[in-house]
């Protein structure tokens, strides 16, 4: 049994929505609307973000793919060892790729997955993270685009879980143990 906790609202659904519109404009300006774009979601935390993001890119010929990397399990601490659990289905060689992450914490996951994807020779690879906790960083990496920088708090909602719970909250909240 996990310790009881409450969730304090941190970023509203409306604020997330507005930020995604801005981010989509920047993505469009970077990649253009002429070429195809492979949007790669890092499972599972990015599934809500990617769903909203691609719908803001409706004028781009987008292909959606997913990759799963090992994560925290049920713990709140990064394992620091990142393994690819489930690989892409499609080809990214010679193509424009946008990797979508829910949250960059220590940075190990983004670092390793970027390294892995670069090994597949994409034409151009950029990254986007909804959330960033810069104070927690252990490896030097930053997503091309970040939705919101947040302090060192454990957050849930909008696809992000605590021990597989709370992914379905429409907003981002922080976990507070009671």
Which residues form the catalytic set?
105
Q: Exactly one of 11, 37, 45, 48 binds Mg ion (CB under 5 A); which one?
A: 45
Going by C-alpha positions, the residue among 10, 32, 28 that lies closest to residue 20 is: 28
Nearer to ligand IMP, 28 or 68 (CB): 68
Is residue 78 part of the contact set for ligand IMP (CB under 6 A)? Answer: yes
Q: Which does 41 bind (CB under 5 to 8 A by kind): ligand IMP, Mg ion, none?
A: none
Q: Which does 148 bind (CB under 5 to 8 A by kind): ligand IMP, Mg ion, none?
A: none
Whether residue 44 contacts residue 34, with contact meaning beta carbons closer than 8 Å, is answered with no
DSSP 8-state assignment for residue 98: E
Q: Exactly one of 31, 38, 45, 99 binds ligand IMP (CB under 6 A); which one?
A: 45
DSSP 8-state assignment for residue 44: T
What CA–CA distances, in Å, run from 164 to 48, 135, 161?
A: 14, 24, 5
DSSP 8-state assignment for residue 35: S
Alpha helices in the chain (DSSP H): 13-31, 47-55, 108-118
Q: Near Mg ion by CB under 5 A, which window of 23-31, 38-46, 79-87, 121-129?
A: 38-46
The angle at the Cα of 100, spanning 53 to 108, to the nearest 5 degrees, equals 155
Q: Near ligand IMP by CB under 6 A, which window of 7-15, 52-60, 85-93, 95-103?
A: 95-103
Tokens of 7: 């969730």
Is residue 107 part of the contact set for ligand IMP (CB under 6 A)? Answer: yes
- Residues engaged in binding Mg ion (CB under 5 A): 45, 71
- Residues engaged in binding ligand IMP (CB under 6 A): 45, 71-72, 78, 101-110, 154-155, 160
């Amino acid at each position: 049994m996990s310790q009881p906790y409450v969730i304090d609202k941190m970023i509203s659904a409306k604020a997330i929505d507005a930020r995604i519109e801005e981010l989509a404009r920047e993505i469009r300006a970077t990649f253009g609307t002429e070429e195809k774009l492979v949007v790669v979601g890092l499972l599972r935390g990015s599934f809500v973000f990617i769903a909203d993001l691609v719908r803001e890119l409706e004028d781009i010929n987008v292909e959606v793919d997913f990759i799963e990397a090992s994560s925290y399990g049920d713990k709140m601490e990064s394992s620091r060892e990142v393994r690819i659990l489930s690989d892409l289905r499609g080809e990214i060689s010679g193509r424009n790729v946008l990797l979508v992450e829910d949250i960059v914490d220590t940075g190990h996951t983004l670092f390793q997955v970027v390294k892995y994807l670069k090994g597949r020779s994409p034409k151009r690879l950029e990254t986007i993270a909804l959330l960033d906790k810069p104070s927690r960083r252990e490896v030097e990496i930053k997503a091309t685009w970040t939705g919101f920088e947040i302090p060192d708090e454990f957050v849930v909602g909008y696809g992000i879980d605590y021990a597989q719970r709370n992914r379905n909250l429409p907003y981002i909240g922080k976990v507070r143990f009671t």
